[in-house]
Amino acid sequence: MKFHQRTPFVLAILRPVRPLLIKTFQSIQRWLKERDIRRRSRVEEMSSREQLEEFFDTLRAYDPGLPMIRLGGQGDGGYVVPDDLDGLAACISPGVSTVADFELALAGRGVPSFMADASVDAAPADHPLFDFEPTFVGTEDAPGWTTLESWLRRKAPDTGDLLLQMDIEGAEWPVLGAVDRETLLRFRMIVLELHDVHKVFLRSGLDEVGQVLRKLLDDFEMVHVHANNNLQPVRRHGYEVPPVLEMTLLRKDRVRRRTPVDKLPHPLDVRNNAFVPELVLAPYWYA
C-alpha cells in the first residue's frame, strides 16, 4: 500500500490522541522560548515587573467609529482592518512570501499593491495591479536590499494615502525604528505581523519594542490586535506574551470615534492554525 493510500488510516489512528499531541507540542514550544529567555538573562538585563507594567500601560485599542472588515484568507494572510479603503493610492507590502490573499482582496477594490521579497522569485499571484521586486526591505540600501523610504520614492505614487502591510519575520523592529515620521505619515493604515514580541522580557528587547510602538502610537491608533496561535505565549512576572502578534493601526486623522475596545478576539478574527485553540489576549494588551 502506497503512503497516500495509508494516509486516511493513519489519520484515523491519530485522531483520538491529536489533542494530547498538540498540547505536548505547545508545552515544548513554550519551554524552548522560556529557556531562551533564561539563557539570555545570564548576559542581558531582564525587564522588571514595573517596567513591563509601564509598557503595557501604553497599549490601548480603540474602536475608530468605522466598520471593521476582514481582508484576505481565513488563516495566515488575513487581517481585520477598518473599512477605510476608498481612495487609497496603493498598498506597500514587504515580505509577501507565497501568499497574496490580502493584496488580492485590495485589488478587488481597485487598490494596486507593490510587493518586495527576496525569498521568492515572483509574486504569489499574477494580477495587473501587482508590482513585485525580489528584494528585502531593511535599514540600508545595498545589493538585494532597500529601505522603505527608497522603495517608496522609486515605486509608490507621489500623492495619496498608502497602506502598509508588513510581515518581514522580525526585521520590522529595526525597519520601523529607522523609518522617518514623514514616511510613516504617508500611510493611512498600517497592518503588521510582529515577531519575537516575547523579547520584551529582556530590557534590550523591551526598549526596542517600546520605542517602535510609542513612535507609531504618536500618530496612529491601535484599532485591532490578535495573537497568532502558531506559537504559545511566554510567561513571566504575571504577563503572557505571544511571540507573534497581528496589529492594525489607523492614522489618527481618520478616526471618527475613539471608543475603548473592551473585548477581544474580534468576531472576525480567525485562528491562524485551525488545529490549535485560539489565544485570548489578556486585557492588559489592549484595555
Return the H-helix or E-strand segment holding 240: strand 239-241
Tally the domains of the chain.
1
Let me know if residue 8 belongs to a domain: no
Cell of 43: 548576559
pLDDT at 74 (0 to 100): 82
- pLDDT for 33 beyond 80: no
In a domain, residue 126? The reply is yes
Q: Residue 244's pLDDT is what?
A: 96
Q: What pLDDT score does 75 carry?
A: 73
Backbone phi, then psi, for 99, in 5-degree steps?
A: -125, 130
pLDDT for 185 beyond 80: yes
Tell me the percentage of the chain whose pLDDT exceeds 70: 85
The answer to whether residue 93 sits within a structural domain is yes
Residue 58 lies in a domain: yes
Q: What is the DSSP string of 111-153?
A: --EEEE-TTSSS-SS--TTEEEE--EEESS-BTTEEEHHHHHH
116 in Cβ contact with 96 (< 8 Å): yes
Do residues 193 and 166 make contact, with C-beta atoms less than 8 angstroms apart?
yes
User: By three-state DSSP, how is residue 162 classified?
Assistant: strand
Helix (H) / strand (E) containing 247? strand 245-251
Q: Do 234 and 34 meet the contact criterion of CB atoms below 8 Å apart?
A: yes
- Rounded Cα–Cα distance for residues 103 and 112 (Å): 8
- State the Cα–Cα distance between residues 138 and 156, nearest whole angstrom: 17
pLDDT of residue 1: 42
Q: Which domain holds residue 222?
A: 46-285
Domain CATH number, residue 281? 3.40.50
Asked if residue 203 belongs to a domain, the reply is: yes
Residue 150 placed within a domain: yes
Average pLDDT on 18-22 reads 49
Split at pLDDT 50, 70, 90, the class of 140 is very high
Q: Which of 112, 179, 110 is nearest to 151 (CA)?
A: 179
Q: Give the per-residue SS3 of 33-93.
A: HHHHHHHHHCCCCECCHHHHHHHHHCCCEEECCCCEEEECCCCCCCEEEECCCCCCCEEEE
Contacts for 29 with CB less than 8 Å, ≥ 6 apart = 231, 232
Task: Report pLDDT digits (tens) over 223-262.
Answer: 999 999 999 999 999 999 999 999 999 999 999 999 999 9
Q: What's the pTM?
A: 0.86
More confident of the two residues 282 and 28: 282
Q: Is residue 90 part of a domain?
A: yes
Residue 6 lies in a domain: no
Residue-level pLDDT at 266:
97
What does the mean pLDDT of the chain come to? 89
